[in-house]
Structure formats: C-alpha cells, structure tokens
C-alpha cells in the first residue's frame, strides 16, 4: 500500500492558489484523499469520492471525522506496571454522509471501470470548495458529464454540502441517484495495530435510530464505550427538467434516498445534499433538534449563499494570514496549502484541539500532542490570536485530569499534562516516549507566555492561564531536587526531551530550560496578580491551596536550575549522558534503514548519539536570547551532525536556527522540505493524514526563520533575509491590537502599520517606532 | 484472594523432615497448594485435592504442569516498536490426571461441606510421598475414612501415582469412585493479565483423541499454536472385598472410569491410579506408544515398589545434598524443604530448565530467567554437578536463537540470550526490565566458569561451553565502545543491571565487571583450546567464523573495562548516574507502599536511588576476590540503605555478603527470610508458586554465607561462622570428583574427606591438604 504511493509521486499543477490534479490515478489516490480533504475544524472529510472506490484496500481509506469524537479501547501491555494508562482514545470514523451512488440504467458509475474521457479535481484555497469535473463512458458506452462540489462550511460548524450534477451526454435512459447516510464505517489503519483487541474493529458505534421523515434522513448513532451520540442528518434538493420519482428506505446502519430520473441527453440533473453533523454527551433529543435546526437553516440559505459565506470567511482569513512569496510558485502554493489545512483542522470552540494529522486521517489516532503549543499556536498567534486562545482554553478544560495524573505519578502537588490525549487523560502506551516527556508542561506554559506577550489578554491570564502556570510550576518544583553531585543545583531526572531517540535521561537541556522559564513565569505572574488583581489572586490561591512558600520556591528553583554543558566541546549537552554515548554510524548505515525507529530496537537507538529531531536546537530557537550567536553555532553544528530528522517536527526548527546563525542555504533547504512535506509526501505517510505541526512550522520558517521575528520582553524584533531565488515576500503580523505588514525584497524591508496604534520595532538590533511606513535597507 | 492468604498465615508443625498440616483451612488452601506440590522435574502437580474444590475462585488454582510444555500467544503493546518480541510463551496447565470424585450414595465427598472429624496432610522429604488422611462425615451423617497418597516419581520422568483408599465407617451402601482424566483445564492467574487476548483464555488445547481401551484411559491433546502433543494415559487398579461394577465413558475433553462399589462398613476400598504424561513435537503415535509403555512398566512394578524407588532416589539425593543444622528446627525444616522443591522443579534432561516458580504455579508464566545460572546451578553444582550440566546444555540448545536475537538487536556478531523464555526465544514484554538486562549473557558465562572450576569437565567445554563463551564475548565486544569521555575506557551503555528499580543506564557496575569476566574467560578458553585441543578449536572457529583479531580484542576490551567509582563517597557507583539521583524517601513512605512496583510508576522509581535487589552487592559476592574487605563494607553499607528487597532474589545475597564482611547478625536475619520465604509466605505470593532462585539462595546462604565458601583460581576456601542459636551445621561438597564433609560447631570446623583424592583447602586464608579428617579451630 505504501509502496504504491511511493511508486507514483504526487504531481500537482503549480498554481499559487489552487491544488489541481488532471488525471485520476489509483496509485496516487490514497495520498490525494488526504490532500483533497475538506474540513472546518469540527467536521473533516477525506478526499474520497461520493461513490467510493470499488476495491478500497490499499487504494485509500474512507474517513469522516468529528473533532473530539472518539472511542475508548483497552491498552494492552506486554507487561503492565503501575500508572500505565489503561484506556486508549481513538478518533473514530463517523457516518459517511456525502455518499452518492449513481446508476446509468443497469450500470454503476465507477471511475475504475469504463473510460474516463476527462477528469479534473481541484481545490481553490480562496474558495474552500473541492471540485471534481469529469466525463465518463460506461463499459456499455453511455457517456455522462459529472460535476461535483464539496464544502465543509467554516461559518457553520455542523454543516457540509455536496453538489452533484449529472448530465447524460449520449443517451436517454433511467438514471438512478442513491444518496445515503452510511453508518457502517470501519477503521482502516488500525488493522495492524496492537489495539485491535479493543473492540474498535467491530465498529465503535451502535445505531440508536435511523429514519426518513419529511425528506430528511436521520441517523443517530452512539459510541459503545464513551457514549457520545452522533447525529448525521441530511436533506437533498433535486433540480431537473426530466421527470423523476423518489423512494426512501432504512438500511442496516444507515438510510438511503433514491431518485429515479428519466434522464435525457443534454439535460442536467442537479442535486444538492446538505449534511449536518452534531455530536455530544447531551441527550439524543437535544442533539437531534440542534442538528435539524442547523439543517433547516442551511437549506433555507441555499447552496450559492453558502459558497459566498465560505468565500467571505476565507477572504478574512487570508487577509490576516496570507504569506506572499513572489518568484517561487511551488513554495507559494505550499505555504498557502499549509495555512489552509491548518484552518481546516483546528478546533475553534475551546473544547477541541488540533490532531497531529488534523481531521484528514487516522494517523496517531487523532491525538493531540505538544504540537499544539509549540507549533500550531505560534502559527495562529500573530494572525488569529482568538484561535490560539481557544486552543489554550481546551488545555485549561483538562486541568483537573492533569492534576489527577500528577497524583497518579506520585507528585504531591501540581498537574502533569498528558503526552497524547483527546479527552485530557494520558493515553500514550509507551512511557519512555510518552509520559516521560514532562516538557509538555513547560511547552504549555511557554505558549501561555507567548500568547500573553502578543495579546496582553489579562482576562485569559486571570481566568485560565495563571492556574495552569501555577499547577505546572508546582509540578516542576516537586519533580526536581537539589543535587549535591551537581554542585547543589536544581536537577530534573528521568525525563525524555523532545528528541525521542534518547529516552529517560537526567537533566535534559531543553526540559530544564523550559521548566526554568515555566517556574519564573509562574512566579512573576503570581507576584503581578497579587499586586494588581488581589481578589482574583486570593480566590485562586485559596481554591488550589497554594502556599506563599511554594511561590517563593519557584523563583529559587528557577535560579538554581542546572544546565548541562560540556566545557571540553564548548557545547550544551542534550542531557547528562548524551555525550557519553557512541556516535551513530551515519557513514555505514544504509539510507533505507531510516527512519531508524522502523529498523532498530529502541535500546540500539538510545545507546547512540543520534537524534530524531531538534532538541537542544529547539531551545536555541525558543530561548535564543539566552545564547550568543557563537554558542548557537557550536551547538547547531554539533547536533545537526547527529540528527536524522526522522520526525516531521525537525526540519522547520533547523531551518529557523540555521537562518538565525547565518546558514541561509541550510535554512532554505530545510524549509523546502518543511513547506512541501505533504504535497510532495516527503515523509511517505501523508496518506495517513497531513502533518499539522510541520505545516505550522512552515509559517514559522518564513516568519521566525527568514524574517527572523522574535518576541521577547515586550519587543518585536526582526532580522529579515531574502533568499536569492525569491523576488519578494510579505506577511502581516498582529501584535497587541496593531497589524503591521512586512514586505521584504532585495532593496530592504518595508514595515507598514496597517491597523492600530504605533509600534516599537527592532530591525537587526536597531529600534524604531512604526507609525505609518518605514523602509529599512 | 491475596488478603485471605494473609489473614491466615501458614502454620506447620516444626519437624526436621516433614511438612505437616493438622487441619484443613480454605483460607490457607491456596498457599498450601503450592507448598504441597509434588514434582519430578518434568511433571509438577499442585497440592490440589483429587476431588478439587467446589468453588475454587480465590481459594486455589488447579495446576498440572509439564516442564517445557507451553503455548504461544501474541504479545500486545501499547505502542509497538522494532524488535519487541511478538510472541509470548506460557507454561500451560495440562490435563488433570489425578482427579477422583467420590460419592457416598447420593452425596458427593467435599471437605467444604459436612464435617471433617480428623484431618492431616503431610509430605516427608525422605519419602517424597504426599499423604492425606481424614475422617469425614457427610451432611446426612455417613462417615468415611479417606487415605490418599501421591507421588511424582523421580526415577520415572513420565509417571505420577495416586493411592486412594476409602473405608466406610458407619454405613453400608453404594460408593461410587469416578476417576477421570480431565482435559478441560483453564488458566487462573492470567485472568487479569494483559495477555488475555492471546486466546489462552479459551483453552490452549484441542483434543485429538479421548478413549478407553482395555482399562486404559487415553487423552491426547494438542496445543493450538505450538502444536505440542500431550498424552495423558491412566490405569486404575481397585482392590476391595466388596462387590463392584465398572463403567467407562468419554466426556468432552476427557475420559472417566466409574467404580460402583457395594460398600460395607469397615471394609476398605483401595484404588491405585497410575498416570503417565508425555509431551513432544513427535507424532501422536510415537508419543502414545511411549506413554503406554511407561504405564505398563509402572503397573507391572506396582505401587509399593514405586514408593521404594522414590525413597532410594531421595536417599541418594540427601546423601549428597543435605544440609544439617542442629539446634534450629524451623531452619532445618526450611532448608530441606527448599532443597526438596529444587529437586522437584529442576529439568534434568538438557532440554528443559527450571521455571522461576518451579512446576508449582503459573507465576511468571513458567519462564526461565537468570535465576538458573546465578542461583540454581550453584546450588546443585557442589552436590549434583550433573544437574548443573544439564541446565547449561539447555542453554546451549538455544544458542542459535540467541544468535538470531543478537542480529535482531543489530549486533553484527555474537549471541544475546533472552531475559525470559521457555523455548529460547525472548518473550519479555517490557524491555527496560527485560531485554535490556544484557547481563544474562555474562551470567551464563559465569555459570560455565564455575562449572568448569568445580568439575573440570572438559568434554562439556569443548562441545558446548566454549561456543557459548565465544558468542557471548563477541556480543560484549560489539556492544561496548572506547569512550573518550571516560578516559578512553571500554564502556557499555543503555543496559539494565540486576536491580530492576534502575533501568537503561550506562556502565552498570555489575554488568561491566561480569562482562569483563566473560571476555577474559572466553579469551583464556580460546587460548587453551588452541594449545590443547587444536582440532576442536579449528572446527569451532571455522564453523562460527571467528577471527583471530576478535579473540585478541576480547582481552583488550576486558583490560580496558570501565568501572564506575565515586571517589567522593569511596564506593562503587551502581552505574554512571545512580549517585546523581535523589535518595528514595524511606522515612516517609508507608510500609504498605511496598513492593514499590505495585504503587509507583516506573519513572518515579527510576528517578530515585532505590534498589529492588542486590546489584553492586551481588558483584561483591561473585567477584569478591577483587575487592578489599573495607571496600566491600563501604559498598554494602551504602547499598543496604537504599535497597527494598522487593525482589525475592535479594535477601540471600545480602546475607552472604553480610557474613563475608563480619555483619553476622544481619547475615542471620536476611538468611531467616530467605530460608522460610515460601513456608512462611514472606513475599505474600507463594500461592502463585515457590521462589526457586531464593530456595537455591538458601543453600548459598549456608555454604557461601555462613561457611564462607568461595572457589576461585583452583582454590576451595572457607571461613566458617556459626550463629549462636545453632549447635552445629554440616554439609557435603563435591569438588573435582572428591567429596568432603564440613561440620561446623562451636569448637571449630571439621573437614572430612569422604570420597576421592586429597584436596587442598584454605581455611580463613590458611591452606592445608585434606587427606582424611582435619579439624580447624
């Protein structure tokens, strides 16, 4: 299956705003299902066809996902131990509401048979409408023209719409359109998964109700373990000058509406299908009422107006978020593709988050990771800070579960956020590269700090942020200890840093520094709250039983944080023992043995100096102000040599730091891999879903990398660089209510204040006040 | 279930040669099923009753095991990774051939109902016969006397015999004896096990054939995955003066013979049941023929002769193996109990080994561990060296699998033995405390070295030992590397030492030293072979493709082995980072939180200085000649404070080293826990099976601990100590064909040459030649 994808690399027309394929190829189909996914942050529909594929195995995987809708399974272990998560969470495939089967007399429409005389599929990122247009000749010679459109409506959380237009070209005859809600869905990627025993393979749902009433098809299903009710309701509107009859019936796990049309040569049959999804723990009546209301609204609005809404929404989005690159169309296309998919994937309701693979596939089981705080939040923060806030609100909503997890992990105080989760409970099944990644706590704190620096949204800090900061700081304070063997410094042992090729180590450089930031920021926030918002402070302190001494200790712990450094090599050591290990034999290991995790036992990998991804180098970016350029260069030089970039989160960070230290060609090379990772399938697994963190990383690659943007201590600074292959690039930054636009070309950098009050900006270390427009050479 | 066991501690009459219980208590039953197990190294039958228990759940677990008979299951992982073992192996419960149900008219005999007017169960360790005698009154008032005996015949690998004698006391009437082979057995301990999905819960067997022919009951079953055929054949001989009729029939998964006896008051019904088990990968005809032959022989021999055989076998065993302790009956009883169970458990055919729980329970799934080489082999070596050789032959038989595993673990050369196994393939499902314990390789090499020192069995070395030594040495050479960060020394990273509360560390003290010994001994063996057995040497070297440079490197690697030491503390560090960790808070952790593994996540445990068992201290024993007494004391003092002894392998080693360094009271206290661990259920889990390694450890505790025996460099040395509470203790040692007896009392130590040629002996550093008898004060 993977082989097929690799045999035939994706190949799209280069276009600044559009992804287009000009021919249908079963070999490229699996990958394209991901690429042509549509989503609105709640609903995600893979780019599978309305009619499906006849023999899907290996060619693709149906997928309709609802953010936050998951089923539980039992995690089984070779040997179980105390504190291992017992339940898995898996984002599940819900009812296929877009399904439409087409019959021409006795023949079924299927692109794999007959002849495809014309074919085009495209998605325009300004429109947000997936379009397919084709001419097909059936095995018996009947020709039709088929035009379909599909929208996951950004402005209407629950709505997807399909437009399905059939025109017989060379025949009159019976045309049957069978429009279904198909609840009999399965999970394709789990087949070889150790969790196959959890019961998911038998279907996560049971059907509560399936009926058709007043032209509206209703399927109500409920997950077996998590007991989430999912409603899928649909109505079809047919427009044709031909005569037709309808028929409807309930199937096993589904409902179907049939249209029997007396098709006539040249006369179009135009069918619009409105599909509404809703899901929650509410009673089925509430959910159904809500879904039916949304359906009624949508039908009332009509297809063309919905398309306009979609365009308007995206117009606003691009207005704030677009990155323009002149002179490099593949890159321009890729960066917009990434920003578009980020928007399609991200939960914007404060109750859901963003899956590692968005809503585009079953990879990583739909889990939320640190990807959110370290990649996605920064990418939205400077254009759509409201989305970043919603993502942080989600984390806040899981704080009680993080507290409970900390207790389970024997921490007397504080909260420990999960490495992998949907509902807020830890569900990573391999703790050395899961629970041991305690840095998730500091990553969340870092995102709050960045969010506050950019927005000064004190309401958020008082209501949510402070409590997270205090509970994460408490955890670090409980976890670390003053170690006489390390000069009495505050040490953090037995954790795993971002680099998953090195596990369970003492004093991971990244973790210690980020924990230090977390402790400091929690301390500063507590002091600030006490002074400026005494009643909030007192309520919070009393609610979580926080002692004054604890707060004082955060500062002391932070001050005394141990930072591993090798005097001999003049570099930071990734952890206490990293440099004690044998360097991986890069020279003699054949290329096909990468990614290493698929070819070597963890012990073999852990035994060597070899990194899956940026670890020290990530700290050099996030906390770059702490290090001299020379130090960064030495660290970068060392760690680049031992990094495989087997993780999709690595290239973008290396690109940013390379640009920072003047290695611009390296910066460019890493960036290309980042930007087109999914379009060109660099990781070889985009068919499992897009890589959302990396997509966000491509925003960071431009803004933090090439333009060198940093925000630290109330200063917004840049050191822009333009690559010789580009003519110009530009983007907007929203910062504390002001919007500025940067345009960088070979003449220099133009800073323009688009909106809001004047802003102090630093350009290569020189500060100026941006009032209107300012050009720096 | 466990609670019940703890509520009512076991309580046996104190007797030097016998374990006796005087009353039947359901609460003590589960534990007693283990204690009263009978076995002969192939067959193991738990001390369950012929009639079973009415409601077994929580009260006990049927168990009939055959050494080496296992079923495979799939190991499921939370997240799978390359090189994780895919198949589990589980020693399985085979058909219950001892089953006998007794009816008195319409009432069924069951000790849980009616009244038990008299009850006694005992096993005499000179006889090797489990006996039960009771008087029972049925709910309706019928009284019987029941006397049963059970033997697992040491001299006949395949044979078990049950004697069943019923005498009606106060009634005449129908007595029905139903004698079964019950193949419908299940696995009790796996119910809460993560491997429940493997299919074992549905029964590991299917029945190939069940029939009764010419008074012989036959049940042939086959395991579903491993396809091992197990035959159980049985014949019953009834002797009674009452009239009777018989009936036989085949049941689902079993066969039954019924005896309907016209019972008469005072007239005994005497029933002998011969049960033969055989199992192998041979065809069922071969297996069945073999089993029927063995059955015929047994019946021909008759019960009384079999009892005599059993006595004779044990007479020889005790003659060589007994340890006599005068003045301490509980200890005397315990040490004999342990030596008896070791014999009952140990495979003596070179194809099987000894399970961690012997053949007495399902704990640890019947896996073989390092327990064999580090505990059981030493305990047999000085009395029954032939058994030690057989255990090493088993390891040799798995060498090809160890080679394959080494390749899987990316080692270009050498062999890596499995941490847990039955068939020679690794089946540990948690690698940080499984595969990471590379020291298993050196443990096996150490056992070979000890075996050779004691036996000078060069045939073994040439045929088996050398090849194991070479392949294990190769692995160390491939695993380690010369580390410039450690003064250019040879370092071994990312392994786990014996202490399972500290995992995946660099330069584990024990591992490095034992690897050094392995390398040195392999080198010396190669040099010796080349000089003295050139043709063997050349054949072996050519067969395994061994290069001259490899051999030379072993010596160099060994010479350069890094040994972690803390100058500051003047102690050996358990590994590079052990002393960098926070010391476990022994003071404030409540007693009920031990064993820690049941109450803390591995990360919490790994993060602290806390040991499950002897690690550095084990090296102090095995390689004691390398360290001064002062050094040993400093190390012991430090590690004793941070050791929980949550492992059953710990106390015996601490006892030995405590005695070595003059801490005799500590030595005594640890020894008591060792000696009576299973009888007094110190670990709280003897109901899952006996702790064979610890049982062997009690032999070591006397001989290596109190008597201070060491064998090093062709010298047998002692430094005996007698505890004030004992009058005298004595034991025999077989060494290079000679047998000597040591008798230690307050006057001194008497050395007596019992057999063989004169022997040089060192007593507290003074050497003398033992020719006849020699008394040292």
Answer yes or no: is pLDDT of B187 > 90.
no
* Residue B556 to residue B496: CA distance in whole angstroms: 24
* Residue B715 to residue B563: CA distance in whole angstroms: 26
What is the model's pLDDT at position B5? 34
- pLDDT tens-digit series, residues A236-263: 999 999 999 999 999 989 999 999 999 9
Q: Which of A773-777, B47-51, B749-753 has the lowest average pLDDT?
A: A773-777
SS3 A570: coil
Q: Contact, B238 vs B271, CB < 8 A? A: yes
Residue B262 has what DSSP assignment?
E
- pLDDT tens-digit series, residues B664-711: 999 999 999 999 999 999 988 999 999 999 999 999 999 999 999 999
**Per-residue confidence band for A11, with pLDDT thresholds at 50, 70 and 90:** confident
Q: Contact, B382 vs B735, CB < 8 A? A: yes
With b for 16 or more beta-carbon neighbours within 10 A and e for fewer, the B355-388 pattern comes to: bbbbbbbbbbbbbbbbbbbbbbbbbbbbbbbebb
Looking only at the bridges linking them, the beta strands covering A773-776 and A766-770 are unpaired
Least Cα distance to B180 among B230, B108, B250 occurs for: B250
**Secondary structure of A26-88 in HEC code, one letter for each residue:** HHHHHHHHHHCCEECCCEEECCCCCCCCCCCCCCCCCCEEECCCEEEEECCCCCCCCCCCCEE
Tokens standing for residue B54: 């009415």
Query: Could you tell me which residues come within 8 angstroms of residue A127 by beta carbon, excluding any fewer than 6 positions away?
Result: A307, A310, A311, A314
Least Cα distance to A439 among A527, A510, A352, A362 occurs for: A510
Handedness of CA A479, A484, A489, A491 (dihedral sign): negative
pLDDT mean over A343-372: 96
What is the model's pLDDT at position B58? 78
Q: Is A491 close to B604, i.e. CB distance below 8 A?
A: no
Least Cα distance to B517 among B529, B525, B505 occurs for: B525
Answer yes or no: is pLDDT of A233 > 90.
yes
pLDDT mean over A723-730: 96
- Which residues in chain B (416-455) have CB-CB distances under 8 A to chain A? 428-436
Query: Could you tell me which residues come within 8 angstroms of residue B484 by beta carbon, excluding any fewer than 6 positions away?
Result: none
Helix axes A303-321, A329-345, angle to 10 degrees: 120
* Residue B628 to residue A79: CA distance in whole angstroms: 40
**Beta bridge partners of residue B136, listed in sequence order:** B116, B144
> Mean pLDDT of all residues in chain A?
94
Smallest CA–CA separation between B580 and chain A, in Å? 6
pLDDT mean over A457-480: 98
For an interface test with A, the pick among B72, B73, B74, B76 (most A C-beta atoms closer than 10 Å) comes out as B76
Q: Is A431 close to B598, i.e. CB distance below 8 A?
A: no
* Residue B735 to residue B740: CA distance in whole angstroms: 8
Least Cα distance to A156 among A443, A348, A363, A356 occurs for: A348
Q: How many A-B residue pairs are in contact by the CB < 8 A criterion?
A: 164
Dihedral pair phi/psi, residue B269, rounded to 5°: -115, 120
Residue A747 has what DSSP assignment?
T
C-alpha distance across the termini of chain A, in Å: 52
Looking only at the bridges linking them, the beta strands covering A608-609 and A582-583 are parallel
B58 and chain A: CB distance < 8 Å anywhere?
no
- pLDDT tens-digit series, residues B346-360: 999 999 999 999 999
Rounded to 5°, angle at Cα A518 from A515 and A524 = 140
Q: Is B485 close to A430, i.e. CB distance below 8 A?
A: no
What is the model's pLDDT at position A197? 35
What is the model's pLDDT at position A201? 54
* Residue A65 to residue A673: CA distance in whole angstroms: 28
- pLDDT tens-digit series, residues B510-562: 999 999 999 999 999 999 999 999 999 999 999 999 999 999 999 999 999 99
- pLDDT tens-digit series, residues A554-607: 999 999 999 999 999 999 999 999 999 999 999 999 999 999 999 999 999 999
CB atoms within 10 A of CB B319: 12
Largest Cα–Cα distance of chain B, in whole Å? 89
SS3 B567: coil
Annotation says B21 is catalytic: no
Q: What percent of chain B has pLDDT over 70?
A: 97
For an interface test with B, the pick among A73, A76, A195 (most B C-beta atoms closer than 10 Å) comes out as A76
Answer yes or no: is pLDDT of A347 > 90.
yes
What is the model's pLDDT at position B414? 98
Helices (H), A198-345: 284-301, 303-321, 329-345
SS3 A735: strand
Nearest CA in chain A to B197: A197
A199 and chain B: CB distance < 8 Å anywhere?
no
What is the model's pLDDT at position B195? 32
Catalytic residue among B71, B72, B500, B517: B500
**Beta bridge partners of residue B240, listed in sequence order:** B269
Candidate from A77, A577, A579 with C-beta closest to B78: A77
Give the CA count within 13 Å in the CB-facing half-sphere of A380.
30
What is the model's pLDDT at position B570? 98
ipTM surpasses cut 0.85? yes
**Per-residue confidence band for A189, with pLDDT thresholds at 50, 70 and 90:** low
Q: Which of B7-21, B52-66, B74-88 has the lowest average pLDDT?
A: B7-21
Tokens standing for residue B152: 């697992």
Q: What percent of chain A has pLDDT over 90?
A: 91
Residue keyed to tokens 């990774």: B81
Least Cα distance to B645 among B679, B689, B606, B677 occurs for: B677
Dihedral angle computed from the Cα positions of residues B607, B612, B616 and B618, in that order, rounded to the nearest 10 degrees: -160
Smallest CA–CA separation between A631 and chain B, in Å? 21
Q: Is A82 close to B194, i.e. CB distance below 8 A?
A: no
Smallest CA–CA separation between B610 and chain A, in Å? 14
For an interface test with A, the pick among B489, B494, B500, B600 (most A C-beta atoms closer than 10 Å) comes out as B494
CA B688 from centroid of its chain's CA atoms: 13
SS3 A154: coil
CB atoms within 10 A of CB A526: 24
SS3 A543: helix
Q: Contact, A376 vs A342, CB < 8 A? A: yes
CB atoms within 10 A of CB B207: 17
Query: Could you tell me which residues come within 8 angstroms of residue B478 by beta carbon, excluding any fewer than 6 positions away?
Result: B411, B412, B413, B414
Residue keyed to tokens 């890729």: A334
SS3 A222: strand
Q: Contact, B422 vs B495, CB < 8 A? A: no
Answer yes or no: is pLDDT of B190 > 90.
no
A456 and chain B: CB distance < 8 Å anywhere?
no
C-alpha distance from residue A173 to each of A100, A122, A170, A270 (Å): 19, 30, 10, 16
* Residue B777 to residue B773: CA distance in whole angstroms: 13
Residue keyed to tokens 């098809």: A217
A581 and chain B: CB distance < 8 Å anywhere?
yes
Query: Does an H or E element contain B471, and which?
Result: helix B466-479
CB contacts of B599 in chain A (<8 Å) are 82
Candidate from B81, B88, B603 with C-beta closest to A436: B603
Q: Is B580 close to A607, i.e. CB distance below 8 A?
A: no
SS3 B259: strand
Answer yes or no: is pLDDT of B311 > 50.
yes
- pLDDT tens-digit series, residues B466-517: 999 999 999 999 999 999 999 999 999 999 999 999 999 999 999 999 999 9
* Residue A298 to residue B704: CA distance in whole angstroms: 86
* Residue B257 to residue A125: CA distance in whole angstroms: 81
Helices (H), B322-438: 329-345, 371, 377-381, 385-397, 399-408
Answer yes or no: is pLDDT of A97 > 60.
yes
Q: Contact, A715 vs A727, CB < 8 A? A: no
- pLDDT tens-digit series, residues A379-417: 999 999 999 999 999 999 999 999 999 999 999 999 999
Q: Is B600 close to A481, i.e. CB distance below 8 A?
A: no
CA A321 from centroid of its chain's CA atoms: 16
> Mean pLDDT of all residues in chain B?
94
């Amino acid at each position: 299956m993977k082989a097929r994808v690799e045999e035939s690399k994706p190949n799209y027309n280069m276009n600044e705003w559009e992804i287009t394929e000009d021919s249908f190829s079963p070999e490229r189909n699996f990958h394209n299902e991901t690429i042509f996914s549509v989503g609105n942050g709640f609903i995600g529909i893979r780019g599978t066809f309305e009619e499906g594929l006849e023999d899907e195995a290996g060619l693709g995987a149906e997928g309709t996902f609802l953010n936050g809708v998951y089923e539980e399974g039992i995690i089984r272990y070779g040997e179980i131990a105390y504190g291992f998560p017992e339940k898995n969470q898996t984002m599940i495939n819900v009812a296929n509401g877009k399904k439409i089967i087409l019959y021409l007399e006795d023949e079924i429409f299927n692109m794999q048979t007959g002849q495809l005389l014309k074919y085009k599929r495209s998605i325009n990122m300004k429109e947000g409408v997936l379009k397919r247009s084709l001419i097909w000749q059936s095995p018996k010679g009947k020709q039709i023209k088929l035009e379909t459109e599909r929208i996951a409506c950004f402005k209407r959380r629950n709505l997807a719409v399909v437009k399905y237009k059939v025109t017989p070209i060379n025949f009159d005859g019976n045309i049957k359109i069978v429009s279904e809600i198909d609840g009999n869905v399965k999970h394709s990627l789990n087949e070889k998964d150790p969790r196959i025993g959890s019961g998911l393979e038998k279907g996560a749902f049971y059907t509560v109700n399936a009926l058709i009433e007043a032209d509206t098809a209703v399927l109500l299903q409920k997950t077996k373990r998590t007991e989430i009710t999912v409603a899928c309701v649909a109505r079809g509107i047919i427009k044709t000058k031909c005569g037709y009859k309808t028929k409807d019936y309930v199937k096993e796990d589904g409902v179907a509406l049939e249209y029997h049309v007396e098709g006539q040569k040249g006369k179009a049959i135009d069918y619009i299908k409105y599909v509404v999804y809703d899901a929650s723990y509410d009673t089925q009546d509430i959910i159904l009422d809500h879904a039916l209301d949304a359906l009624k609204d949508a039908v009332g609005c009509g297809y063309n107006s919905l398309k306009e809404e979609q365009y308007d929404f995206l117009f606003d989005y691009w207005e704030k978020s677009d990155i323009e690159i002149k002179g490099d169309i593949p890159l321009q296309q890729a960066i917009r593709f990434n920003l578009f998919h980020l928007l399609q994937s991200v939960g914007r309701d404060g109750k859901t988050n963003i899956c590692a693979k968005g809503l585009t596939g079953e990879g990583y089981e739909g889990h939320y990771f640190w990807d959110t705080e370290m990649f996605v939040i920064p990418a939205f923060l400077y254009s759509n800070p409201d989305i970043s806030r919603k993502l942080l609100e989600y984390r806040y909503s899981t704080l009680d579960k993080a507290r409970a997890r900390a207790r389970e992990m024997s921490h007397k105080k504080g909260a420990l956020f999960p490495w992998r989760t949907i509902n807020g409970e830890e569900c990573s099944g391999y703790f050395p590269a899961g629970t041991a990644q305690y840095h998730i706590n500091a990553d969340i704190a870092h995102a709050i700090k960045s969010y506050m620096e950019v927005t000064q949204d004190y309401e958020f800090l008082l209501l949510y942020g402070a409590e997270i900061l205090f509970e994460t700081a408490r955890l670090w304070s409980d976890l670390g200890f003053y170690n006489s063997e390390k000069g009495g410094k505050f040490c953090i042992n037995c954790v795993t840093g971002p680099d998953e090729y090195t596990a369970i180590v003492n004093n991971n450089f990244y973790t210690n520094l980020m924990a230090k930031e977390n402790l400091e920021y929690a301390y500063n926030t507590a002091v600030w709250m006490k002074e400026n918002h005494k009643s909030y402070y007192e309520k919070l302190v009393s609610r979580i039983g926080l002692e004054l001494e604890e707060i004082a200790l955060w500062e002391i712990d932070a001050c005394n944080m141990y930072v591993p450094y090798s005097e001999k090599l003049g570099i930071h050591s990734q952890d206490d023992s990293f440099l004690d290990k044998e360097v991986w034999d890069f020279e003699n290991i054949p290329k096909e043995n990468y990614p290493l995790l698929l070819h070597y036992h963890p012990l073999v990998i852990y035994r060597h100096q070899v990194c899956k991804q940026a670890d020290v180098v990530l700290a050099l970016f996030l906390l770059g102000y702490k290090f001299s350029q020379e130090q960064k260069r030495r660290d970068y030089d060392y760690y680049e040599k031992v990094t495989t970039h087997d993780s999709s989160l690595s290239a973008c960070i290396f690109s940013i730091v390379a640009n920072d230290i003047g290695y611009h060609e390296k910066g460019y090379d890493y960036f290309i891999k980042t930007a087109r990772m999914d379009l060109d399938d660099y990781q070889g697994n985009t068919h499992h879903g897009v890589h959302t963190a990396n997509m966000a990383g491509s925003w960071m690659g431009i803004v933090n990398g090439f333009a060198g943007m940093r925000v630290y201590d109330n200063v917004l600074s840049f050191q822009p660089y333009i690559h010789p292959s580009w003519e110009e690039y530009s983007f907007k930054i929203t910062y504390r209510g002001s919007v500025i636009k940067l345009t960088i070309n070979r003449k220099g950098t133009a800073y323009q204040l688009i909106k809001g009050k004047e802003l102090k900006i630093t350009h290569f270390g020189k500060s100026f006040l941006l009032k209107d427009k300012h050009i720096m050479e």
